[in-house]
Amino acid sequence: MIVRNFREIQAEDVEEGAHEVRIRQVISEAEGAPHFVMRVFEVGPGGYTPQHTHAWEHEVFILSGSGDVFSKHGWQTIKSGDVVFIPGNEIHQFKNSGDRPLEFICLIPTERVCRL
Amino acid sequence: MIVRNFREIQAEDVEEGAHEVRIRQVISEAEGAPHFVMRVFEVGPGGYTPQHTHAWEHEVFILSGSGDVFSKHGWQTIKSGDVVFIPGNEIHQFKNSGDRPLEFICLIPTERVCRL
C-alpha cells in the first residue's frame, strides 16, 4: 500500500495546445497500478487543456475551482464535486473560468495503445 | 459526455462488515465506462469499511474528513488530498476517526471476475 498527499508529487507543465496546465501522475504503473492511471490536473486562471479527441475514455472528478468543459454539445459549467465521463472518441476541452486554480482528477486506462 | 454532481446520485448503504458506510456509483458500466468504475464512499463518524482482501486493486483519493487506513504494516492516518494505492490481494480497511464524514473516491477495474 502507498499513502501520500498528491501535492508531494512533482507537477509537470503540459505543453502542446495547453495553457497554464500542470499535471501530477499520482497513481500509475510506477506505483504498480495495472489497469488505470490517476492524474491530478491544475489549470490556472485563464488556462485551458487542448481541444482534442482520442480513443480512450476519461473519468473526471472536479476537486476545486470552477470552469467549463467542451463537448459536441457545446460548453457546460463545472465546479467542485462534479463528475464528468468522456467516452472514447469524443471531443473535449477543459478551461478555467474562475480566479483560482481549477483542480480535477482525470483517470485513463493504462493500455491506451491497444484501443487506438 | 455526462456531467453531474456526485451528490445527485443516490447513495446506498454498504452492508456486510461495514458500519456507517454509504456508496455512490458515480461512473460505471451504466454510464458506458468500459474499463474502471468510480465510486464515492461516505463513512460517518465512528464508521469503518470491512477489513478484507480481494484480487483487484483500489485507487483512492481522500476528498474530505480524516481517518485511518489499515494495511499489513498497520494503521496510517489519511486526510483530504491523500492518495492511496492498494494493490490486489492486500488486506485493507478504512475508518473514520474524525467528527465529520470521511469522503473518498475509490476506483476499481470493471472486469474483476477475470482477475480472481
Which residue matches cell numbers 464524514?
B101
Query: What pLDDT is recorded for position B68?
Result: 98
Quick one: what percent of chain B has pLDDT higher than 90?
A: 93
CA distance A4 to chain B (A): 5
A4 located within any domain: no
Is residue B62 one of the residues assigned to a domain? yes
Of B34, B35, B82, nearest to A4 by CB-CB distance is B82
* A7 near B CB under 8 A: yes
CA distance A15 to chain B (A): 24
Residue B30 lies in a domain: yes
In a domain, B88, yes or no: yes
B114 is annotated as an active-site residue: no
A78 inside domain: yes
For the segment B52-69, what is each residue's pLDDT rounded down to a tens digit?
Answer: 999 999 999 999 999 999
- Which letter, b or e, does each residue of A1-13 get, where b requires 16 or more Cβ atoms within 10 Å of its Cβ? bebeebeebeeee
What count of other Cβ atoms lies within 10 Å of the Cβ of residue A47?
20
Does residue A115 form part of some domain? no
Instruction: Write out the residue range of the structural domain in which residue B28 sits.
Output: 12-107
Cβ contact (<8 Å) for B1 and A90?
Answer: yes
Given an 8 Å threshold on Cβ–Cβ distance, is A1 in contact with B92? Answer: yes
What pLDDT band is residue A39 in, cutting at 50, 70 and 90? very high
C-alpha cell at A49: 487543456
Which is the catalytic residue, given B37, B106, B107, B114? B106
How many separate domains does chain B show? 1
Record the cell numbers describing residue A13, joined without a space. 507543465
Q: Is the pTM of this model over 0.90?
A: yes
pLDDT-derived band at A83 (thresholds 50, 70, 90) equals very high
B84 CB neighbours in chain A (<8 A) are 1-3
CA dist list (Å): B33 to A25, A27, B1, B60: 21, 19, 11, 18
Which of B2, B4, B27 should be substituted to probe chain A, the one whose Cβ sees the most A Cβ atoms within 10 Å?
B27
pLDDT score recorded for residue B115: 43
Does a structural domain hold residue B4?
Answer: no
Q: For position A113, what pLDDT does the model report? A: 53
Q: What is the pLDDT of residues B1-36, one digit of tens each?
A: 999 999 999 999 998 899 999 999 999 999 999 999
- Measure the CA–CA gap between A13 and A42, rounded to whole angstroms: 10
Q: State how far the Cα of B1 lies from the Cα of B55, in Å rounded to an integer.
A: 31
Residue A93 belongs to domain with CATH number: 2.60.120.10
In a domain, A116, yes or no: no
